[in-house]
Structure 1
């Protein structure tokens, strides 16, 4: 009796690239949440935000102080409402610095992989004041301004969506390789740790046997000196 093949023809033709395409399509079709963050910063204090960015990934950010009166958002801000910002790389290199400003923006291409840190602080005031500001930080595919690209290149909406899809697939592909590298690093670290623990165990066993031998030798010499043996 001939063996029967399992699975439908459609499932046999489903490749990882097709799965990747479906995942990317689902990500693009889902509504993207708001990325802007709003903070309350007291004068004389510091608040920091971190974001993990890969090598050669673009990162853009913009920030501005929110007016103290919500009924008049365009009113002139008081002189006490100023903040400073420093963005540093995982190795401590300065990517952006602004001092005593009410708004600003930055953009850079990551040369190092890891957590980039953005720290805001406000000068000390007497009496203390609370400054509310909004911070929008994007990296990777979300950092690209696709509407501007479409206007400059006269690209229609279908081509624009295809460009977004291509960038998302490339980003997922790079993320998979990045996670694979991290997994290999963790496996190598586990192997080194296990090897060191094994050597430490042998060393501890050798020390215990040496101490036991010294104790037996000491007891033997003690009993011989007392003429008990």
Structure 2
């Protein structure tokens, strides 16, 4: 009896570990952003499906004579702009919901240099964390709000992870169906073009025969 119980606990632990390994990790990056009068955008891109919660935490280091702007966009066909804010300092936290399945969500920064501070290379250090999907949910706040036990909180986390995995599988299935439809459409177009080429060559060959025959008759080379 104890052996069966231990096996049951081991199976549950193994399943939990596998589910946690399948989750999207937290994307953290730290970099220096140089200031310019007309700065280019430095973007960090992450994959996020439609309906996914995205939490962006940016910690901007100190820097005199500089202004850091942030913009959250996606690379989908509609080029959605979720957020645009100027002059962020210190730690800033933003939450958005992705709207596209056709592209990634990007967090873009620009570091503007004050004209009066020109002639010197200036930089600001940015520490960026991007949490997507189940990683973006604050389960501790949910547990406090709904008075959940530790076990219930873990089950809620696993429920979110499983839902994310199911959504990912459905997304991959839709992509496979779309690719298959595109493949079939391309095959039909290639077949139609091949038949058109064949018919055109036959018609051209017949026309050449009649044309040459008429030419030879005019020259009295054949009867």
TM superposition score category, shorter chain reference: 0.7 to 0.9
Matches within 5 A, 1:1-229: 24-28=16-20, 35-43=27-35, 44-66=39-61, 77-89=62-74, 90=76, 91-103=78-90, 104-114=92-102, 115-124=104-113, 126-127=118-119, 128-229=121-222
Contact 2:68 2:88 in 1 (8 A): yes
| Higher deviation after alignment, 113-122 or 192-201 | 113-122
Gaps of 5+ in 2: 1-10
Could you give the per-residue CA deviations for residues 27-66 of structure 1, whole angstroms, max 9, x where no partner exists?
A: 3279996521122323322212222322222111111223
TM-fit CA distance, 1:160: 1.5
C-alpha displacement of 1:102:
2.4
Retained in 2: the 8 A contact 1:25–1:165? no
Distance 1:187 1:129, change over 3 A: same
Aligned equivalents of 2:168, 2:14: Cα separation in 1 = 16
In structure 2, the CA distance between the partners of 1:166 and 1:222, relative to structure 1 (3 Å rule), is same
Taking structure 2 as the reference length, what is the TM-score of the superposition? 0.77
| CA contact 2:72–2:108 (8 Å) conserved in 1 | yes
Q: How many corresponding residue pairs?
A: 200
Distance (whole Å) between structure 1 residues aligned to residue 24 and residue 160 of structure 2: 16
Task: Check conservation: 2:49, 2:100, Cα contact below 8 A.
Answer: yes
CA root-mean-square deviation: 2.7
2:112 counterpart SS class: coil
Contact 2:56 2:131 survives alignment (8 Å): yes
Once the two structures are TM-superposed, the CA of residue 84 in structure 1 deviates from its matched residue by 1.3
Contact 2:24-2:133 at 8 Å conserved across structures: no
Q: TM-score, normalised by structure 1?
A: 0.75
Tell whether the 8 Å contact from 2:26 to 2:131 is kept in structure 1 after alignment: no
Query: 1:196 and 1:147 mapped to 2: Cα distance?
Result: 55
Q: Which runs of 5 or more residues in structure 1 are unaligned?
A: 1-18, 67-76
